[in-house]
């Protein structure tokens, strides 16, 4: 009988996304557009699989995480739920206004429109966690108890999001 708990963690040099963003602050302050080489690390907690003696298959986690990072790699990350940022799309382009004033026009294929209120690392960590959770559910992962996602935007500068699955 084991009394300890297990978790597995994955961070790889391909679990990165080089993306552009800007965030809004309280009041009327808004950053200019800039980029980061973001890096993700995921930690998954759960019971051991009775046959394989692992929490979850590393190959599968790496594969799913790589796909989630690739979806937002080399994109401008834009928040769909920020009341200060107005986003309008047409076939070719995405227009971005801040507090009603036009600010940017991007080619549509260069944008990732995200269901977040601000593209902080905290919100990106939560978003990646939610997307990973959907994928793990599809794969029938039933013994997992928690997911923790770290998103680093600079060396030594990360946000973490953790969600229990039970």
- Point out the residues that are catalytic: 30, 74, 153
Rounded-to-integer distance, Cα 161 and Cα 132, Å: 12
Rounded-to-integer distance, Cα 97 and Cα 90, Å: 14
Measure the N-to-C terminal CA separation of the chain; round to a whole number of Å.
Answer: 22
The radius of gyration computed from the CA coordinates of the chain, to the nearest angstrom, equals: 18
Rounded-to-integer distance, Cα 45 and Cα 38, Å: 23
Q: Where are the beta strands (DSSP E) in the chain?
A: 6-10, 16-21, 34-46, 76-79, 85-89, 93-98, 101-107, 111-114, 144-154, 157-164
Q: Which of 120, 111, 116 is nearest to 151 (CA)?
A: 120
Backbone angles phi, psi at 104, to 5 degrees: -140, 150
């Amino acid at each position: 009988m084991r009394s300890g708990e297990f978790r597995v963690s994955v961070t790889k040099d391909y679990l990165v996304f080089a993306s552009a963003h800007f965030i809004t602050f309280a009041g009327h302050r808004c950053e200019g557009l800039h980029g980061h080489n973001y890096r993700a690390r995921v930690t998954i907690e759960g019971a051991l699989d009775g046959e394989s003696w692992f929490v979850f298959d590393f190959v599968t986690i790496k594969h799913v995480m790589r796909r989630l990072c690739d979806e937002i790699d080399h994109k401008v990350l834009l928040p769909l739920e920020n009341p200060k940022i107005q986003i309008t799309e047409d076939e070719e382009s995405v227009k971005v206004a801040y507090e009603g004033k036009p600010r940017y026009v991007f080619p549509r294929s260069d944008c990732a429109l995200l269901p977040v209120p601000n593209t902080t690392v905290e919100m990106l960590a939560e978003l990646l966690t939610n997307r990973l959770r959907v994928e793990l559910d599809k794969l029938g992962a039933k013994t997992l108890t928690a997911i923790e996602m770290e998103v680093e935007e600079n060396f030594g500068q990360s946000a973490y999001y953790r969600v229990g699955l039970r």
